[in-house]
């Protein structure tokens, strides 16, 4: 396992060195892969194209599907991840196959009965295009969808084009590396919790390190004018419960609470910007989760007061921290039931829970991890 740790660090260092030469922002606007028509449209001409996309797949303000159809590309089928093609399904909601109402193109759900496209789904596809905005955190499931797309394309000899987009948390690497014993749809690869890669770079890593059984014929259309020290603000919310950049920056730290008894504000107007519990100190800030269709229909502690901490105005260093998790555990009257079985999958290791339960500070945990 130590070899994997060293390799990951060397790989990320190489990527960061090649992508970033200074601490100054890019002088020219970032151009995402989807904007670079000359680089990939010729590869799609006269082909039956499959598109892996959602509401973040925009070219300027136009959806990539509409753009491709307007350019005369034959899009035969859409594959959609968690939250659906239009991004209006809540986390964990199973999504059925359907038809895109605007264009009539069939949509195959990869967050329903199957995470991976069936061979029959790919039988009439000659080339596949993947264009989804990631947030750079291992348990954000868009990268798991990409893993299974890579695998499906490799098995069916279908070329895959990944249209790269910047990573809003791509300016650092942090958190435990996944122990593959805990591989699941919320974490497949032995990478850090905050992995630092764009989705295109991760696709190349998955393919190059043979984390899929066969090698995929992969083309990545890289972002222009993007460096890993650039604080890239997302032009559109990546999913219903990440409504702003504060939530995107806090997601790596607060996402771990999904494996505990705590609420992170699902069912409020500020998910992943607060944390609390009904039995916390009643003198603290409180929020009341309520059903929000399409965002959080049945949130944890629905219609109950949750006392805790408001992080909406907190000035962040925009990096992962264990301080919120440790504080919640230490101040929770029910800390024997604080963690649930999902926590190990999110953390990617059983060690983090043990370290927090033993009373270790964040500094001590980080020191052990080095």
pLDDT in tens, 244-265: 999 999 999 999 999 999 999 9
Q: Which fold has domain 245-369?
A: 3.90.1150
pTM, full prediction: 0.90
**How much is the average pLDDT of 23-28?**
56
What is the sign, positive or negative, of the torsion defined by CA atoms of 2, 3, 8, 10? Answer: positive
Delimit the domains of the chain by residue range: 2-221, 245-369
Spatial distance between the Cα atoms of 154 and 69, rounded to a whole number of angstroms: 26
Hey, do 2-221 and 245-369 end up sharing a CATH topology, with the first three levels equal?
no
Each residue of 168-202: b (16+ CB within 10 Å) or e? bbbbbbbbbbbbeebeeebbbbbbbbbbbbbbbbb
Write the CB contacts of 60 (distance below 8 Å, at least 6 apart in sequence). Answer: 35
**How much is the average pLDDT of 135-139?**
98
Predicted local distance difference test score (pLDDT) of residue 8: 52
Percent of the chain with pLDDT over 90: 79
Among the residues of the chain, which ranges form H helices?
2-19, 37-44, 64-70, 119-122, 142-155, 199-208, 245-254, 323-330, 343-347, 351-357, 362-369
Spatial distance between the Cα atoms of 85 and 81, rounded to a whole number of angstroms: 7
Domain 2-221 has CATH 3.40.50.12170: yes
Predicted local distance difference test score (pLDDT) of residue 102: 86
Checking if the pLDDT of 17 tops 50, the result is no
**How much is the average pLDDT of 216-235?**
96
Write the CB contacts of 259 (distance below 8 Å, at least 6 apart in sequence). Answer: 339, 340, 341, 342, 343, 344, 345, 346, 347
Confidence of residue 367 (pLDDT cuts 50, 70, 90): confident
Predicted local distance difference test score (pLDDT) of residue 215: 97
Predicted local distance difference test score (pLDDT) of residue 15: 52
Cβ(307)–Cβ(284) under 8 Å? Answer: yes
Mean residue pLDDT across the chain: 90
């Amino acid at each position: 396992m130590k070899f994997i740790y060293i390799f990951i660090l060397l790989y990320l260092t190489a990527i960061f060195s090649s992508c970033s030469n200074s601490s100054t922002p890019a002088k020219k606007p970032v151009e995402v892969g989807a904007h670079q028509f000359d680089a990939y449209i010729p590869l799609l001409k006269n082909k039956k194209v499959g598109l892996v996309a959602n509401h973040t797949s925009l070219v300027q303000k136009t959806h990539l599907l509409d753009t491709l159809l307007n350019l005369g590309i034959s899009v035969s089928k859409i594959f959609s991840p968690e939250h659906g093609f239009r991004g209006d399904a809540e986390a964990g909601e199973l999504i059925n196959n359907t038809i895109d109402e605007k264009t009539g193109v069939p949509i195959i759900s990869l967050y329903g009965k199957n995470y991976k496209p069936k061979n029959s789904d790919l039988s009439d596809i000659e080339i596949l295009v993947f264009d989804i905005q990631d947030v750079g955190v291992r348990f954000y499931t868009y990268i798991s969808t990409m893993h299974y797309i890579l695998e499906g394309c490799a098995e069916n000899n279908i070329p895959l084009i990944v249209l790269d987009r910047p990573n809003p948390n791509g300016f650092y690497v942090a958190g435990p590396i996944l122990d593959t014993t805990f591989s699941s749809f919320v974490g497949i690869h032995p990478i850090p919790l905050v992995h630092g890669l764009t989705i295109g770079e991760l696709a190349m890593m998955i393919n190059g390190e043979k984390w899929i059984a066969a090698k995929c014929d992969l083309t990545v259309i890289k972002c222009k004018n993007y460096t890993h020290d650039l604080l890239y603000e997302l032009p559109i919310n990546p999913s219903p419960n990440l409504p702003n950049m504060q939530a995107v920056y806090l997601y790596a730290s607060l996402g771990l609470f999904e494996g505990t008894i705590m609420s992170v504000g699902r069912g409020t107007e500020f998910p992943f910007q607060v944390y609390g519990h009904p039995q916390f100190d009643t003198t603290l800030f409180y929020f009341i989760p309520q059903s929000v269709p399409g965002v959080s229909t049945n949130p944890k502690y629905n219609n109950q007061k949750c006392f805790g901490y408001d992080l909406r105005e907190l000035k962040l260093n925009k990096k992962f921290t264990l301080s919120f998790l440790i504080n919640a555990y230490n101040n929770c009257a029910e800390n024997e039931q604080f963690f649930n079985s999902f926590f190990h999958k999110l953390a990617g290791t059983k060690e983090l829970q043990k370290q927090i339960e033993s009373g270790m500070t964040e500094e001590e945990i980080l020191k052990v991890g080095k």
